[in-house]
Amino acid sequence: MKIKIKQLGPIKQAEFILGDLTLICGGNNTGKTYATYALFGFLDVWREMLKIGIEDRSITTLLNDGIVHIDLEPYVDKTQTILQEGCKKYTQSLSRVFSSPGDYFKDTEFQAITDRINLHETPAFEQTIQTMNTELFSFSKTENSTKLMVSLIIDKEKVHLPAALINQIVAQTVNEIIFGQFFPKPFIVSAERTGAAIFRKELNFARNRLLKEMSQTDKNIDPIQLLSRVYNDYALPVERNVDFTCLR
């Protein structure tokens, strides 16, 4: 996968290819952290940014017949378009990744470019979606196949599943099949971990935010709404690193 960056902090323009081991080197204040944080952020949230649209007729067929076969080739043909739109959306969210003012990245460009996937060389895929102890539906794709089979397991007469929700879950699965191979799950760790380890209780962001909010609101608070609020005290990679340290 190739990454292209423009107007990001001190970086005017940069381009690099991710390999099994990728080293970003340079002098002080040349943009190494900016490039690393931008890449980490994209690998962390790409599932939110890349949107695939499943045709309504496929969901209708699934609900009516209990099974539908979805051709993946049309989605592969749109890979670069989906990536371009996703990268543009991601660029607009860089302020959240860096915990900075939104206009700081108004001229920034972030691009991720991948090779075209060959569905005839892809592994098999099996997944079952369930809630609690109830299986809802399953996904199956045989090795080197271009078709994804979606099967409805639950009795639709007993449990009503909104078509919009099913569409979203199917889209996420197609997303995973097409792009999952390109985007590894990132793990970030600082070179110096002593400070985070010593002060991990004080750095427990989730706990501290909850206590702060509860002290500033009245007693009639919705805990779900409280926990779902977005906070930008620290850059996303720092939060992920500290969260990992605090949970140890």
Quick: pLDDT tens for 78-131.
Answer: 999 999 999 999 999 999 899 888 789 999 999 999 988 888 888 899 999 887
Q: Where do the structural domains in the chain lie, given as residue ranges?
A: 2-50+80-113, 56-78+117-179, 194-247
| Residue 81 DSSP class | H
CA 121 – CA 126 distance, rounded (Å): 16
Out of 37-46, 91-100, 233-242, least confident range: 233-242
Higher per-residue confidence, 116 vs 37: 37
pLDDT at 22 over 80: yes
Strand partners, 129: 137
pLDDT (tens digit per residue) in 180-195 = 888 888 887 766 555 5
Arithmetic mean of pLDDT over the chain: 83
Reply yes or no on whether the pLDDT at 203 is more than 60.
Answer: no
Burial level of 138, CB count in 10 A (0-12/13-18/19+)?
A: middle
With a pLDDT cut of 90, the percent of the chain lying above it is: 51
| pTM to 2 decimal places | 0.78
Assess whether pLDDT exceeds 50 at residue 137.
yes
Average pLDDT over residues 209-218: 60
- Give the helix ranges, DSSP H, for the chain: 32-49, 56-65, 73-77, 79-92, 94-98, 163-179, 194-198, 205-216, 223-228, 236-247
pLDDT(230) > 50: no
Higher pLDDT, 14 or 117: 14
Instruction: Taking residues 5-15, report their average pLDDT.
Output: 95
pLDDT of amino acid 113: 92
In this prediction, residues 229-241 reach a mean pLDDT of 69
Query: Tell me, what's the pLDDT at 168?
Result: 93
